[in-house]
Chains A and B, each alone.
Chain A
Amino acid sequence: MKFLEGMAFLLAFQLVGEVVSRLFHLPVPGPVLGMILLFVFLLLFRKVPVALSSAVEPLLNNLSLLFVPAGAGVILHLKRIGSEWFPLVTSLFLSTLFGMAVTALLMHWVLKWQHRRGRV
């Protein structure tokens, strides 16, 4: 029952997010808006309801599974991927690792700068 209550909670926030996103023609998708609204709710409520955790944990623990159906859609694009595999694969690898390195290094440098400034 707790799990169902938690799921109803998540779906209700997604639903509100979806309605707000469409109503105001926001570029932010409904589920993301739902996440932000739930975050604001938790800030106000000041703790995570037990029912909510009982739905959140199984969802996030099996998160990878949820990407499988969309990933299997690769079968629809085999022709295009076959003819453009070189730019696609190279760009995917390099830009993903480049993006990760830039994010991590920038954060690392700002943190170091903050530490040094804190000590002086």
Chain B
Amino acid sequence: MDSFELLEIWVYLAESPLLGLTLTLLAYIAGVRCYQASGGNPLVNPVAIAIIIIMLCLALSGTAFQTYFEGAQFVHFLLGPATVAFAVPLYQQLGRLRALALPMFVGVLGGVLAGTASSVVLARLLGASTDTALSLAPKSMTTPIAMGVSEHIGGLPSLTAVLVISTGIIGASFGTRLFALLRIEDDAVKGIAMGLNAHGIGTARAFQVSPQMGAFSGLGMALMAFIGPLIVPSLLSFLGFLD
């Protein structure tokens, strides 16, 4: 096989979605292997490792992100049905859901307001531009929802996607330590706080702690996904960030 033939194969593959899709799966598997090899250290986040591997591959091969995404979109698309799927763990926790209605209402409302307002105000005070700060506002919502809200309030949807993932990684990496520090032991409370603030990535981490914490984290994520788009725009205009 001469180098011209190899080049032709590369040109063909670079245009097809096969490469982007395969790269996404392999990078993620590598991330999970690293996480397992570390003995389940939450700081070794599989998503962060996969993203770094993909970025390096794209940069080294000179491939545009759009070309990569043509393949990766098949994985990205599954975020939709996965969001719908959260109804199932939610339903399975119905008993505790009823018992926890009031604490959940108070915690969720306070958490959404505190997390959103502090992110935007802090970023602005530290010198971030307005569109960067606005892109931060939906950071605790799950990706497809956050991107929609970002567009609606005048942020940059693709920057928001990155900030959402970073938020999830921070929550998944440090959340359990924070709860230990605050002496919170109830899996339901920890789960809601995790999912509400660190969406799906935090929820994946919560499922590793216990199925109970995972289910409540799924619930927290669902509550943020539902309540977030309803109150975040009003909160921002109250804070004077929207015209």
B134 CB–A CB distance under 8 Å: no
Say how far B193's CB is from chain A's closest CB, in angstroms.
4
A108-B166 in contact (CB<8A): no
Docked CA distance A68–B162 (Å): 10
Q: How many residues of B contact A (CB 8 A)?
A: 112
Could you say which residues of chain A place their CB within 8 Å of the CB of B120?
A: 91
Say how far A35's CB is from chain B's closest CB, in angstroms.
5
Say how far B171's CB is from chain A's closest CB, in angstroms.
5
Could you say which residues of chain A place their CB within 8 Å of the CB of B85?
A: 10, 35, 55-56, 59-60
Q: Which residues 186-233 of B have a CB within 8 angstroms of A?
A: 186, 189-190, 192-194, 196-198, 200-201, 203-204, 207, 218, 220, 222, 225-226, 229-230, 233
Which label, helix, strand, loop or mixed, suits the secondary structure of the B interface? helix
Could you say which residues of chain B place their CB within 8 Å of the CB of A76?
A: 65, 158
Which label, helix, strand, loop or mixed, suits the secondary structure of the A interface? helix
Could you say which residues of chain A place their CB within 8 Å of the CB of B182?
A: 101, 104-105, 108
Say how far A91's CB is from chain B's closest CB, in angstroms.
4
Which B residues are within 8 Å of any A CB, using their own CB? 24-25, 27-28, 46-48, 50-51, 54-55, 58-59, 65, 68-69, 72-73, 75-76, 78-92, 94, 100, 102-104, 106-108, 110-112, 114-116, 118-120, 122-129, 132-133, 136, 139-140, 143-145, 147-148, 152, 156, 158-159, 161-168, 170-171, 174-175, 178-179, 182, 184, 186, 189-190, 192-194, 196-198, 200-201, 203-204, 207, 218, 220, 222, 225-226, 229-230, 233
